[in-house]
A and B are shown apart, each in its own frame.
Chain A
Amino acid sequence: MFIYITKRLLWVIPTILTVLLVLFSLSYLLPGDPADIILGPRATPEMAAELESRLGLDKPWYQSYLIYLQNIIKGDLGSSIFKDRSVLKVILNVLPYTVILTLAGMGLAVFNGISIGLLAANYNNSYFEKFLTMISFITASTPTYIAGVLLIVIFSVNFNLLPSIGIGDGGLLETIHHLIGPALALSVGWTGYIARLTRSSMLETLDQEFIQTEKSFGIPRYYILYKYALKKAIKPIITVIGLGIGRLLGGAVFVEVIFNRPGLGRLIVDSVNERDLPMVRGGVLVAALLFIIANLIADISYAYFDPRIRQK
């Protein structure tokens, strides 16, 4: 296990270096001259030259790449072109909102998904089960942004129960009130997925011999279902949670835009629109790092539950 984890960690380093190279090359790939975009048409050549040296565009690419790497290691992501603020500070300001949103979304998805899946497994082959399966298919095929839009239409416009924008004024109740809609929207897709996974995993476990043995011992049905079977069936669900957190980070982009919340996703969308290159680079780097970590956790938990993977 230890060897497997070390191997996976070592494999991540070249990936991150290449991610950095890709982000670095953005300054050459993005259309238009950065100096033109930032300074506008009335810029003097001196101003352009000063800006180019500040962005490291006047040196050969490998030198500027090394400087870029050095700065990253020092924790310096540069400063935003427009706001004249440190990119790292801006990101650290909005990151907690995205993390909370993602975790809340995942929590809801796990809770609702497992509940639906258990019910479906319990009432297998009934019309109620078909209904629940259909529900999980429908939620699994609802994109985050559509869930968000529908929630706003139903709960904010029609019934005026939930706020449709913002994060509240900072009080705990306000924060939670503003989090319900976005977290629910984010969770919808994974609720269906986890429900289907729970159902098939439960059915598979209930088919096994140790359950038959317990039945023949006369252990009550709910005890078998929720204590013995669930304990074993929950493993594949735990392994997808890491994967799911990574996916929800992507979904948070839409939720943050629709509900007008601050966050990493909206920051990236806004800076792509404004062509704020250092901000795009920094935001995408942090998003990619979080994504890599989530995937790493998912891989390691797979290996933890399935020793065959470790040997590969």
Chain B
Amino acid sequence: MFKSQKFFRFKKKSTRVINIMKKDYKAYLGGSIIMLILISAIFAPLIAPADPYKTNVIKRLEGPSLENLLGTDSLGRDILSRLIYAARPAVLVSFGGIIISVIIGIILGLLAAYVGGIMESIILFIFDVVRAFPPIILILVLLSIIGPSLLSVIVILGVTIMPRYGRVVRAETLSEKEEDFVEAARSLGADNSRIIFKHILPNIFASVLVLSGMDMASMIMWEAGLSFLGLGLQPPLSSWGVMLQESYQYIQTAPLMILWPALAIMLTMLGFSTFAESLRVALNPKLNQEV
């Protein structure tokens, strides 16, 4: 009985959020871009018209044609197919990185807010040290230590962004802890883990969700940037950054080629940031009139 009541309460809140987002053109734009990327990542072999790794030296650097809709690259590979396949590392990096930073951030943030004292100081200090480096430079140095690979890019991006979540979770936990409903739950005999999972985490969920939407965009941006510098994912793997780097060498002779990966990255970032923005407005009732 109790459980179903709770389910309806959650459903009511999510219905409200969805209703607000239904009126916002940004939600449609962002949502459809994200869907497009997810679909290309999951069904890449079914959608892609050709094998993204099949080289054909005779047909290199060709412009768009019926056979190769977006043309071919310096090794004669089909650009459209490579673009579609490159959605896979982008999705892996953004979702993997965000999961790592959210999990570590929530654990450290809760520890800081709940244990307090020396533990809190140490955790805040760790956040400050990570935030003392410009992110891209910290990522560069860490990558040169571990060595570039898909996994190391994901882990390093996650760790670099983590302090944002740690600080938000700590600050919101500190203020939620003082709320009357937490006090009430405590006086009814609820222990810390129950309070954290039933009362505090659901309430900070909204801010973490919005923040992670924006950070997924930055992770895709950084992954592509690193690969563009030759320090992230390595060719022949198709990633938008790798494609950008490969076509950058032919920027004078075949300038059209570099537009496709550039557009793909911009579109992805646009999708994540507009969706996150629309979510932010919908989750915060005070801002609703702005839609």
A residues apposed to B, CB below 8 Å: 11, 14-16, 18-19, 22, 26, 29-31, 137-138, 140-146, 149-150, 152-153, 157-158, 200, 203, 246-247, 249-251, 253-254, 257-258, 265, 268-269, 272-273, 275, 280, 284, 287-288, 291-292, 295
Contacts and interface: CB of A to CB of B under 8 A. Distances in A.
B43 interface: no
Contact of B266 (A138, A152, A272): A138
Interface string B123-134: 001001101111
Interface stretch (B59-67, B106-114, B186-194, B221-229): B221-229
Contacts of B147: 31
A11 B128 contact: yes
B136 interface: yes
A150 B262 contact: yes
Interface residues of B, number: 41
Contacts of B277: 137
Given A137-B274, A272-B140, A275-B144, 5 more contacts: A15-B125, A137-B26, A141-B266, A280-B144, A295-B131
18 contacts: A15-B129, A15-B132, A30-B145, A31-B147, A137-B274, A137-B277, A141-B266, A141-B270, A143-B266, A144-B225, A146-B266, A149-B248, A153-B258, A153-B259, A157-B252, A250-B137, A251-B136, A287-B134
Contacts of A275: 144
With most chain B CB atoms within 10 A of its CB, the pick from A31, A137, A258 is A137
Contacts of B131: 295
Contact of B132 (A200, A247, A249, A288): A288
A250 B139 CA distance: 11
A280 B285 CA distance: 48
A16 B126 CA distance: 12
7 smallest A-B Cβ distances: which pairs? A141-B269, A250-B134, A250-B136, A141-B270, A143-B221, A153-B255, A146-B262
Contacts of A29: 145
A272 B231 contact: yes
Nearest to B253: A157
Contacts of A149: 244, 248, 251, 258, 262
Given A18-B125, A143-B225, A280 B141 contact: yes
B132 A292 contact: yes
A291 B134 contact: yes
Contacts of A19: 129, 132-133
Interface in B231-253: 231, 244, 248, 251-252
Contact of B129 (A22, A158, A203, A280): A22
A142 B137 contact: no
Contact of B140 (A145, A258, A269): A269
Contacts of A251: 136
Contacts of B132: 15-16, 18-19, 288, 291-292
B94 to A, nearest CB: 13
A251 B228 CA distance: 13
B231 A141 contact: no
B129 A18 contact: yes
Contacts of A144: 225
Given A11-B128, A143-B224, A246 B141 contact: no
Contacts of A22: 129
Contacts of B217: 141
A250 to B, nearest CB: 4
A145 B266 contact: no
A184 B194 CA distance: 52
Contacts of A18: 125, 129, 132
B44 to A, nearest CB: 23
B87 interface: no
A153 B145 contact: no
A158 B140 contact: no
Given A14-B125, A150-B262, A272-B141, A288 B133 contact: yes
A273 B159 CA distance: 22
Nearest to A143: B221
Given A15-B129, A19-B132, A149-B248, A272 B225 contact: no
Contacts of A16: 132
